[in-house]
Copies of this chain bind each other. A is one copy, B any other.
Amino acid sequence: MDRSEYWSHTVVGASALEATPFLIVDTTVMARNITLMQSECDERGVKLRPHVKTHKSTHIARLQLAAGATGLTCATLSEAVGLASAGVVTDLLVAIPVYLDEPKAALAREALSAHTRLLLAVDSVEILSSIAAAGLTTPGVGLMIEVDSGLGRTGLTPEAAAALALSAQVQQGALEVAGFFTHGGHAYSPGASAAAANDEIQSLARAVELAGLTGRADLIVSAGSTPTALLSASAPVNEERPGTYVFGDMQQVGLGQTDIGGVGAVVIATVIHSAEDRYVLDAGAKILTKDRPDWMNSYGQVIHRPRDQIVRVYDNHGVVRCAPGDASPKVGERVPIAPNHICPVVNLVDELVTHDPATGTTGRIPVDLRGHLS
C-alpha cells in the first residue's frame, strides 16, 4: 500500500472515534526516524542532542535518550524546567541566548537544580553579565558561545565569538566555556543544505582555532538542524542538534531531507464544504499554522491529493483549491494533511493521537511541554 492510501484509508479508519481536527503520529515512522538519526550520528562519531521544541513531549524525549542521545536541546528555560519536573534529567543545552533578568534567573536556577549539566547560550557581554549576576557561576553550568554561520539571527562572527570566549569577563566571572554552537538555518531553502553545513563546520572551526581551544578534548562543538545534521557531522563538529527529523514535514520533503514515507505526523481534518473548484476543511491556522515558506505554494499537503493547494487558512477553516479537472471530495470525508512545519503545529495540540500500524490501534502521547514559552 502506498503512503497516501495508508494515511487516507488505514489511519483515517483507525482514528474514526477522534473528533477532527487532530494530529496523529505513526509510531513506527517516529521510531524509525529516531533510530536512523541516532545510528547515522553514531557512525560519524558525533553526539546527538535532539531539540525538544519539535515534539514538546517528555515521553518522546525519553525515547530519544533511550536510543542513545547524549543530551537534549531546549528553546526555552521553561522547557528545561518542564523536562526536569517530569523526571527527564539530562545534560541540557538551552540553545537561544537568554537574558537572565530576575524571573528568568529563577527559571535557570530551577533548571540547574535538576539537570546533570546546564549549558547556556551566550553571544553578548550583556547575556554573559546576566548569567554572572544571577549567580550561575557554579559547577554544572557551562557557556556555549553562539557563532553565526550565515543565518543572520543571533550569534557572533567566529572572531567575535572567540574574543568573547577569551574575554576578561569570562575569566573574572569564573564562567566555564563548554564550547561553541551554531545553527545553519540558512539551509532552509532548496539546494542550500550542503553549503550551509559547510558554513557550520568552517565557522565553528575558525572560532575554536582563534580561541586557542583546538586541543581541548571535552570542548563541545555543536552544529545542526535537520537538513544539515548529517552534512556537518565532521571535525571539529562533535555534536548535532536536529529537531524536526523525529516527525518530518513537507518542508523537509521539499528540501530533500526525507520523502513522504518519512513524514510521521499528520493532521486529520473533515471536509465541511464542497464546491466545484474548492473545498473547505475544519482545520485552519489554529492547527495547520500560517507557516508557508516562499518556495512552497500550499499550507500543507493533502496527502492523497498532492495537486490540490491549501490556498487560505482562517482560524478554523482551511480553503483548498482543487487541481484542474479533479472533483472535490464530499462533505463529511476525512482527509490527511502533512503540515509544512511540524514544530508550531505540535505546539497547538494538547496531545498527539498515535497510530500503531502493527496493532492497528490508536493511543495518546501528552504534549506536556506545550506552551512553556519563557
Query: Which residue numbers of A lie inside 8 Å of B, CB to CB?
Result: 16-22, 53, 75-78, 96-99, 101-104, 106-107, 123-124, 126-127, 130, 152-155, 185, 270-274, 278, 280, 282, 285-287, 289-292, 312, 314-317, 319, 330-332, 343-344, 347-350, 371, 373-374
> 4 closest Cβ contacts across the A-B interface?
A19-B374, A126-B331, A19-B103, A290-B290
A331 proximity list for chain B (CB < 8 A) = 99, 124, 126-127
**B103 in contact with A17 (CB, 8 Å):** yes
Instruction: Report yes or no: A153 in contact with B21, Cβ–Cβ below 8 A.
Output: no
Check A75/B344 contact, CB under 8 A, given A18-B103, A21-B374, A374-B19.
no
Do residues B371 and A349 form an inter-chain contact, with CB atoms below 8 A?
yes
Q: Which single member of B98, B292, B314, B348 contacts A347 (CB below 8 Å)?
A: B348
Residues of B within 8 A of A107 (CB): 19
> How many angstroms between the C-alpha atoms of A285 and B331 in the bound complex?
32
* Smallest beta-carbon distance A165→chain B, Å: 17
Beyond the given A21-B373, A124-B331, please list 10 additional residue pairs across the A-B interface where CB-CB is below 8 A. Answer: A16-B103, A19-B77, A19-B104, A22-B373, A76-B316, A99-B271, A124-B274, A153-B314, A290-B344, A350-B371
Q: A192 to B107, alpha carbons, bound, how many Å?
A: 47
Q: Contact at B75–A154, with CB atoms within 8 Å?
A: no
- A154-B280 contact, Cβ under 8 Å, with A53-B316, A285-B344, A290-B290: yes
Docked-complex contact A344 and B373, CB < 8 angstroms: no
A287 to B370, CA, bound (A): 12
A-B contact pairs, 11 of them (CB 8 A): A16-B102, A17-B103, A19-B106, A19-B107, A96-B282, A99-B282, A124-B273, A127-B331, A153-B312, A185-B314, A289-B289
* A75 touches which of B273, B274, B289, B316 (Cβ 8 Å): B316
Q: Given A102-B17, A290-B290, A374-B22 in contact, is the A154-B348 Cβ separation under 8 Å?
A: no
**Closest-CB distance, A286 to chain B (whole angstroms):** 6
Contact B348 A371 (CB under 8 A): yes
Q: Complex Cα distance A35/B224, Å?
A: 52
The distance from the CB of A330 to the nearest CB of chain B, in whole angstroms, is 7
Task: Specify which chain B residues have a CB less than 8 angstroms from the CB of A22 in the assembled complex.
Answer: 373-374
- Interface contact A272-B127, CB-CB below 8 Å: yes
**What CA separation (Å) do A278 and B289 show in the bound complex?**
26
Task: Give CA–CA (A271, B96) in the complex, Å.
Answer: 12
B-chain residues with CB within 8 Å of residue A103 when the two chains form the complex: 16-20
Contact at B153–A317, with CB atoms within 8 Å? yes
Judge whether A272 and B99 touch: CB under 8 Å. yes
Q: Which residues of B contact A19 (CB under 8 A)?
A: 77-78, 103-104, 106-107, 374
B99 in contact with A270 (CB, 8 Å): yes
CB-CB under 8 A from A371, the residues of chain B are 348-350
User: In this complex, what residue of B is CB-closest to A188?
Assistant: B314
State whether B317 touches A154 (Cβ < 8 A).
yes
Q: How long is the Cα–Cα vector from A98 to B272 in the complex, in angstroms?
A: 6
What residue of chain B has the Cβ atom nearest to residue A316's Cβ? Answer: B75
